[in-house]
Amino acid sequence: EVQLVQSGAEVKKPGESLKISCKVSGYSFTSYWIGWVRQMPGKGLEWMGIIYPGDSDPRYSPSFHGQITFSADKSVSTAYLQWSSLKASDSAMYYCARQYCGGGSCHFDYWGQGTLVTVSS
């Protein structure tokens, strides 16, 4: 059974750093892209980017490039999303999702449960 299990909710202060995780099981971690999606309170889904755990190749949305970093650790089948200096506007739910690609088309077929990040002084 494919599962993506994300780390728990975080409460941080502006300027702090943070790394959240997405541990996968039930499939080959290095064979599928992992995506990250932001959902601010009461708002829509925002595509942040994807990472290929096989070689840690990241693709960032321009909206997030330079603000976040993706990484992956093959030894523990876990993808990470990190910030070096959080802002209040980073407060949101963050989802990881497995990207399935077939016939040239890709979509997110399995999702983590989400990690709620709250940034407040």
Partner 1 sequence: DIQLTQSPSSLSASVGDRVTITCRASQTISPYLNWYQQQPGKVPKVVIYAASSLASGVPSRFSGRGSGTDFTLTISSLQPEDFGTYFCEHSYSTPYAFGQGTKLEIK
Which residues of this protein are in contact with partner 1, per CB under 8 A?
A: 37, 44-47, 49-50, 59-63, 95, 101, 103-109, 111-114
Coil, strand or helix at 1: coil
Whole-number minimum distance, CB 116 to partner 1, in Å?
12
Residue 59 or 74: the one with the smaller Cβ distance to partner 1 is: 59
Bridge partners of 47, per DSSP, are 37
DSSP per residue over 49-117, as a string? EEEETTTTEEEE-TTTBTTBEEEEEGGGTEEEEEESS--GGG-EEEEEEEEEEETTEEEEEEE---EEE
Residue 17 or 113: the one with the smaller Cβ distance to partner 1 is: 113
Residue 88 or 101: the one with the smaller Cβ distance to partner 1 is: 101
Distance, CA of 40 to CA of 89 (rounded, Å): 9
Q: Show the tokens assigned to 105.
A: 């088309």
Whole-number minimum distance, CB 73 to partner 1, in Å?
23
Whole-number minimum distance, CB 65 to partner 1, in Å?
9
Whole-number minimum distance, CB 108 to partner 1, in Å?
6
Residue 61 or 91: the one with the smaller Cβ distance to partner 1 is: 61
| 97 half-sphere exposure, CB direction, 13 A CA radius | 20
